[in-house]
A and B are shown apart, each in its own frame.
Chain A
Amino acid sequence: MSDNSYLGEIRNFCIIAHIDHGKSTLADRILEQTSTVAERDMEEQLLDNMELERERGITIKARAVRLNYKADDGNTYVFNLIDTPGHVDFNYEVSRSLNACEGAILIVDASQGIEAQTLANTYLAIEQDLEVVPVINKIDLISARPEEVKQEIEDVIGIPAMDAPLISAKMGINIKEVMERIVTDIPAPKGDPDAPLKALIFDSYYDSYKGVIVYVRVKEGSLHVGDRIRMMATGAEFQVVELGYMGATSLSPSDELKAGEVGYIAASIKSIGDTKVGDTVTRCDEPADEPLAGYRSVNPMVFSGIYPADGSKYGDLRDALEKLRLNDASLTFEPETSVALGFGFRCGFLGLLHMEIIQERLEREYNLDLITTAPSVVYKIDKMNGETVFIDNPTNYPDPTEIKQAYEPMVEAHVYAPSDYVGNIMELCQQRRGVFKDMKYIDKTRVDLHYDLPLNEIVYDFFDALKSRTKGYASYDYEFKGFVASKLVKLDILLNGDVVDALSFIVFSDSAYPRARKICERLKDHIPRQLFEVPVQAAVGGKIIARETIKAMRKDVLAKCYGGDITRKKKLLEKQKEGKKRMRQLGSVEVPQEAFMAVLKLDDE
């Protein structure tokens, strides 16, 4: 058996924090303290690579970095800091990132205390037997109440917190103490470098020169350049071209990765679909008997049609989606055609945030103007002829006479909120056809409400509605549970008498009428007056169940053309030309892009 004493000098950890509680800032300070990044390379919040991540202050994809730290005990330690995504849509990615660590630093804001997302991720970490090291951040704020927050951590999470370091990541106060805690409190990894290789994939991205770069935590065994490897879930095999460690700004190649270490593998992998997060990498010459536990295939939950506002940009949209998919195996898309919107793509996402992020990246990074249809979930339909089909596009929903039984996806949801809002939350969940399971007090003032909810009730605007009913204090978390039998109908929207396919959606039959009325109202508000009166109708199976009327435009004129000054008229004409680009001609009606999204926000508050 070879020497595994090197393990004692490795610490693999992640940081758990609520948005804005200072995760990225602390990560930056740790990088500075270990002089991993030269000051001139230091960009605020280095770990959040994407522009969008920096702006939203969230981490979308996991990242990792290896640092060297000379501790007070005189030894130099290798720190592997693994960043975790912080949103419910990426729950599975979070669990895999945590699985690559032995410990987690829990950052809690000294004035705000523990928040729901922190709690959910901390529980995940505890479930995976991680050592949680609490840290109280932002002690420089006047509103800081560190002693209370410590007590809260002990009460709510049940871990000792009285000697938690009091820090300010922003001001650089007490960072050293955090570094020492990582050495003393977080256990060194275990593992046998001589055992058959088992390496956990916790992230991957596409590099245009090297192909897919896979981030792994080696649990057992070792790996060298030239070894043939196999992905145990997908079965794909590759030859390792390069491996090594993640520097803060670049990869640093090495000869070997051993049990306990965190590193990357490049093996001329063309498709990111071959490197699924959670999969186990093993060696072909001496394969492991069984993969690491916990792998599951992540499937899209929410679908929507994405169309270029300018039909001639279809090719550009396809190229952009293909590029995004290189780095995001959970994004799916296939071509689709809409009578109203022309050529576009049916795209699948992990959740609503994922959907918004993809849309924003397409618009910003690829400069595309998009029209997005209402998000839909997947329905399962048993047909009269014995077939079972899965429908992710309302347009393909079978005729009611062909349906034997329809099923809709259910999720198990946890809503975390101050107990004052229990009534409001229960009311909302009930409106959304939730089935109450139980309610737990997290502490004296906060509760965890457990509901089963139909996914299609939460994809539209549940989070907004929840926020507005709890003054922004609530957060929630959900997991797919399964399909349950349901009464569903397809709701069609007609503009000026013509069905607009891109506005159709599937709805629980009892909700059809109120939903139809609201959508008609919304469309009436969001479609500007046209040259003539436009009826807006909603229909189920050809029967009109709601109607609004967009009145004809009454005044739009520049009365004066004074002294031959026509500049203002010209500007107006230019504006009209520009405006036309943001409009969709649906039959004889011009509909602004915003109308397609606006109809989704149905909450009346």
Chain B
Amino acid sequence: MTTSKPVGLYVHVPFCLSKCPYCDFYSVPYSREKASEYAQAVKRNIRGHALRYDTVYLGGGTPILLYEHIADILAAADIAAGAEITAEANPCMAKPQVLETLRSAGVNRISFGVQSMNERELKLLGRRHTVKQAEDALMTAKQAGFTSVSADMMIGLPGQDCFSIISTAQKLSQLGADHISAYILKIEDGTPFAEREIELPEDDSVSELYLHTVRTLEELGYAQYEISNFAKPGHECRHNLKYWRCEEYLGIGAAAHSYLDGRRYCTERDIDGFIASSLQITTVTDDLPGGWEEFSMLKLRLTEGITYAEAERFGKAGELRANAEKLPHVLVELTDSGVRLTPEGFIISNAVIGKLIFG
């Protein structure tokens, strides 16, 4: 038991039943035996750190494949009272018994990779589940008593129009989702989508779809709090907010990233290496993090933006205000206390944030 400030814990579970054709995250085919070994290694690593956690995020991959081990894993960690504990899940695996197991292990937030409530789009994405299964998953989760139920949806699919976006958003809302992550599909190098040369909609229409999504979700009561994240009041993902607010977190597992003790580091994309090591072997990616560029790049992804008081900690308040004043108001809002991006700004945020930082 430590007395220091609690941090976030991220556990990467790199197993999948099948690989989605757009996904470039690290994952390997599931085997029961390997999953068990992996869970042991995770526990070993958690015990190896004398830290206290107020958020836990089990991400993947498909962490729900480890559901039998999750209670053990969480038991190994010193978790603060009232902590947010999230597990990602695949709708086709959301059997009542599985979700209840998660629930009783302490998981209080579940995030489903729904992606769409349109059969054609699900097929196109190569997902294993159907619209019906997604509906069942959300309802089962609600019944199982999770504090927050989240669903992912995708923007910018081939052939997608704003009606399909609105329909997916409405269905998720009707099913009682508390939180929605809406990601723009990006073709990553080396994925089957890249090889198949899938044709995405034009930037102009993706932009329209994105703004439609933001408007629709706002109307349904989901407030945008980050470029791709929307929540009913009080349901914002506290763990993910840590990333964007430059707060500390420990990442455990193959290909997991950490920001701890003034360094950013990661582990290899090597599941066997992770299992074989007594403690995970890490590589430092940044030994001087937390600078102005990093802080503002991450913080400006949030609708809360950057306050001048925060900027002044880096001696940048004046520069930030001056740079912001040069940009169109439709992209950047200047308030009395700081600077924030609008949805129109978010969709071109790489450029806008660059301008705010570099002028």
| A interface list, Cβ under 8 A from B | 531-532, 553-567, 569-570, 572-573, 576-577, 580, 588
CB of A564 within 8 A of CB of B354, answer no
- 17 example contacts (A-B, Cβ-Cβ < 8 A) are as follows A531-B348, A531-B352, A532-B328, A554-B204, A557-B184, A557-B347, A557-B349, A558-B349, A559-B183, A562-B25, A563-B251, A563-B256, A563-B257, A567-B285, A570-B286, A570-B294, A573-B354
CA distance in complex: A562, B113 (Å): 14
Can you add 17 more A-B contacts, CB < 8 Å, to A564-B251, A573-B354? Answer: A531-B348, A531-B352, A553-B348, A555-B184, A555-B206, A555-B347, A557-B347, A557-B348, A558-B349, A562-B25, A563-B256, A564-B257, A565-B257, A566-B294, A570-B294, A573-B357, A577-B358
Residues of chain A within 8 A of B183, CB atoms compared: 559-560
A residues near B328, Cβ cutoff 8 Å: 531-532
Task: Tell me, rounded to whole Å, the shortest Cβ–Cβ distance linking A88 to chain B.
Answer: 44
Question: Which chain B residues lie closer than 8 Å to A559 at the CB level?
Answer: 183-184, 186, 227-228
**Residue numbers in B under 8 Å from A572 (CB-CB):** 350
Complex: chain A residue closest to B25, CB-CB:
A562
- Interface contact A573-B327, CB-CB below 8 Å: no
User: A residues within 8 A CB of B207?
Assistant: 554-555
Kindly report which residue of chain A lies nearest to residue B154, judged by CB atoms: A559
Cβ–Cβ contact B301 & A561, under 8 A: yes
Q: Do the beta carbons of A557 and B350 come within 8 Å of each other?
A: yes
Residues of B near A558 (CB, < 8 A) are: 186, 349-350
Bound complex: CA A580 to CA B351 (Å): 11
For chain B, residues 305 to 359, give those with C-beta under 8 angstroms from any C-beta of chain A: 326-328, 331, 346-355, 357-358
Complexed CA–CA distance, A572 and B207 (Å): 20
Would B10 and A563 count as touching, CB distance under 8 A? yes
Closest A-B pairs by Cβ, 7 of them:
A555-B203, A554-B207, A576-B354, A559-B184, A556-B350, A565-B257, A556-B348
**Assembled-state Cα–Cα distance A6/B59 (Å):** 92
B259 touches A564 (CB 8 A): yes
In chain B, residues 67-123, which have Cβ atoms closer than 8 Å to a Cβ of chain A? none
Chain A residues near B357 (CB-CB < 8 A) = 573
* Residue picked from B349, B354, B355, most chain A C-beta under 10 Å: B354
Determine whether B30 belongs to the interface, using a CB cutoff of 8 Å to chain A: no
Q: Which residues of A contact B224 (CB under 8 A)?
A: none
Expressed in whole angstroms, the Cα–Cα distance for A560 and B57 within the complex equals 16
Complex CA–CA separation, A385 to B293 (angstroms)? 59
Q: In the assembled complex, which residues on chain A have CB atoms less than 8 Å from the CB atom of B353?
A: 573
Interface residue B12 (Cβ < 8 Å from any Cβ of A): yes
Interfacial chain B residues near A588, Cβ < 8 Å: 326
Question: Which positions in B face A, CB cutoff 8 Å?
Answer: 8, 10, 12, 25, 57, 59, 183-184, 186, 203-204, 206-207, 210, 227-228, 240, 242-244, 249, 251, 256-259, 264, 266, 285-286, 293-294, 297-298, 301, 326-328, 331, 346-355, 357-358
Decide if B351 touches A531 in the complex (CB within 8 Å).
yes
Contact of A555 among B10, B297, B348 (CB under 8 A): B348
In the complex, chain B residues whose CB is within 8 Å of the CB of A554: 203-204, 206-207, 347-348
> In the complex, how many residue pairs between chain A and chain B have their CB atoms under 8 Å apart?
100
Enumerate chain B residues within 8 angstroms of A570, measured Cβ to Cβ.
Answer: 286, 294, 297
Q: Is the CB of A556 within 8 A of B10?
A: no
Most chain B CB neighbours (cut-off 10 Å) among A557, A565, A569:
A557
> Which residues from chain B contact A561 at a C-beta distance below 8 Å?
240, 243-244, 298, 301
Q: Which residues of chain A are near B286, meaning CB under 8 Å? A: 570
Cα A213 to Cα B186 in complex, Å, equals 62
Chain B residues near A560: list those with CB within 8 A.
183, 186, 228
Q: Are A566 and B264 in contact (CB under 8 A)?
A: yes
CA distance A569 to B355 in the complex (A): 15
Query: What is the CB-to-nearest-CB distance from B139 to chain A, in angstroms, rounded to a whole number?
Result: 27
A534 to B207, CA, bound (A): 19
Which residue of chain A has its CB nearest to the CB of B346?
A: A557
Closest Cβ neighbor of B358 among chain A residues: A580
Docked CA distance A573–B292 (Å): 12
CB <8 Å contact, B258 and A564: yes
Which residues of chain A come closer than 8 Å to B8, judged between CB atoms?
Answer: 564
In angstroms, Cα B285 to Cα A566, docked, is: 10
CA distance A554 to B348 in the complex (A): 6
Assembled-state Cα–Cα distance A555/B202 (Å): 9
Give the most central of A558, A559, A572: most B CB within 10 Å.
A559
Query: What distance in Å separates the Cβ of B266 from its nearest Cβ neighbour in chain A?
Result: 7
Q: How far is the CA of A507 from the CA of B233 in the complex (A)?
A: 64
B247 CB to closest chain A CB (Å) equals 10
Q: Which residues of A contact B355 (CB under 8 A)?
A: 531
User: For residue B349, which residues in chain A have a CB less than 8 angstroms away from its CB?
Assistant: 556-558
B59 near A563: Cβ-Cβ < 8 Å: yes
Residues of B within 8 A of A566 (CB): 243, 257, 264, 294, 297-298
CA distance A562 to B331 in the complex (A): 25
Whether A573 contacts B249 by the Cβ 8 Å rule is: no
- B297 and A573: CB pair below 8 A? yes
Q: Is the beta-carbon distance between B327 and A563 smaller than 8 angstroms?
A: no
Contact (Cβ within 8 A) B351 A556: yes
Residues of A within 8 A of B228 (CB): 559-560
Assess the A564–B331 pair: CB atoms within 8 A: no
CB distance from A574 to the nearest CB of B (A): 9
Task: Knowing A531-B355, A563-B59, A564-B251, say if A576 contacts B350 (CB, 8 Å).
Answer: yes
Would you call A531 and B259 a contact (CB within 8 A)? Answer: no
Closest Cβ of chain A to B256, distance in Å, is 7
List, in ascending order, chain A residues with CB within 8 A of B57's CB.
563
Chain B residues with CB below 8 A from A562, complex form? 25, 59
Cβ contacts under 8 Å, B352 to chain A: 531
- Assuming the contacts A554-B207, A559-B227, A576-B354, asked whether A565 and B266 have C-beta atoms less than 8 A apart, the reply is yes
Using CB atoms, name the residue of chain B closest to A572.
Answer: B350
CA distance A557 to B183 in the complex (A): 10
Query: B184: which A residues are within 8 A, CB to CB?
Result: 555, 557, 559
Question: Cβ of A531 and Cβ of B227 under 8 Å apart?
Answer: no
Do B186 and A564 touch across chains, with their CB atoms under 8 A apart?
no
Q: Which residues of A contact B326 (CB under 8 A)?
A: 588
From B61, which residue of chain A is reached at the shortest CB distance? A563
Taking a contact as CB atoms under 8 Å apart, the answer to whether A564 and B249 are in contact is: yes
Contacts of A553 in B (CB 8 A): 348, 351
Query: Nearest chain A CB to B320's CB is how many angstroms away?
Result: 15
Q: How far is the CA of A580 from the CA of B355 in the complex (A)?
A: 10
Query: Which A residues touch B331, using CB under 8 A?
Result: 531
Interface centre among B8, B298, B351 (most CB of A within 10 A): B351
> A557, B227: Cβ atoms under 8 Å?
yes
Distance in angstroms between the alpha carbons of A262 and B327 in the assembled complex = 67
- Nearest Cβ distance between residue A352 and chain B, in whole angstroms? 36
Question: A554-B207, A576-B358 are known contacts. Are A563 and B350 too (CB-CB below 8 A)?
Answer: no
Min CB distance A44 to B, Å, is 39
Interface centre among B256, B297, B350 (most CB of A within 10 A): B350
CB A591 to nearest CB in B, in angstroms, measures: 15
Question: Could you tell me the distance in whole angstroms from the C-beta of A439 to the nearest C-beta in chain B?
Answer: 51
What is the CB-to-nearest-CB distance from A204 to chain B, in angstroms, rounded to a whole number?
47
In the complex, what residues of A have CB within 8 A of residue B10's CB? Answer: 563-564
C-alpha spacing A559/B357, complex, angstroms: 19
Provide the bound-state CA to CA distance between A556 and B206, in Å: 11
Provide the bound-state CA to CA distance between A173 and B326, in Å: 70
In the complex, chain A residues whose CB is within 8 Å of the CB of B249:
564
Taking CB as reference atom, which chain B residue is nearest A560?
A: B183
A557 nearest in chain B by CB position:
B349
Q: Which residues of A contact B251 (CB under 8 A)?
A: 563-564
